[in-house]
Structure 1
């Protein structure tokens, strides 16, 4: 590496480091607590039950996940479809007609035929 590249890399690293320090220093002022209640100002900090917080923050997303999964899987189960991983293999498809051997294209029939592989002319 040339010295110019090294200098630019060090300048970028120092800029990122100074930016990170400014963000951390600025976040300390945001950790203020609720001031003492006075008449007509702040209300006291409410007590939050841990079980209620877990139910709201984890229970509701889990319930939404289960409902969406059931909405997706229920029609297949009602049809009697097999949902095991081995049952999801795709069937063989016939694209482009029969071939003589795997990976073989049909040869052109005449001079004007468009069958076969890629071609070009000048």
Structure 2
């Protein structure tokens, strides 16, 4: 590395360190606690049970996930569909390919042929 690149790297690192120190120094006033309770002012901080917090913050989203999954999977299971990963592969399709119906029009044989249904020219 050239000395110019080293100077730039040191300048960026020192600027990042100074900004991190500034953020940490100014965060002290933001960590205030609830003031002492007086009549008609703040209520005391409630005690929160850790198990209750886990159930609310983890159980409710998990329950919503299970309900949404069941709403999408239950109709397929009721119809008796196979939901294994191998069963979800689509069938081979040839869109616009040859068909075997008897009433279809024949394809045009040459440039002047009118067979084949719709046609257009410029």
TM-score bracket for this pair, using the shorter chain length: 0.5 to 0.7
Aligned pair count? Answer: 99
Unaligned stretches of 5+ in structure 2? Answer: 99-122
Aligned to 2:118: none
73-82 vs 46-55, greater mean Cα deviation: 46-55
Alpha-carbon distance in structure 1 between the residues aligned to 2:10 and 2:39: 55
Distance 1:3 1:67, change over 3 A: same
Aligned to 1:14: 14
Alpha-carbon distance in structure 2 between the residues aligned to 1:4 and 1:45: 55
Q: TM-score, normalised by structure 2?
A: 0.66
How far did 1:40 drift?
2.7
Alpha-carbon distance in structure 2 between the residues aligned to 1:42 and 1:93: 69
Distance 1:4 1:86, change over 3 A: same
How far did 1:6 drift?
2.6
Q: TM-score, normalised by structure 1?
A: 0.66
Stretches (4+) displaced over 6 A: none
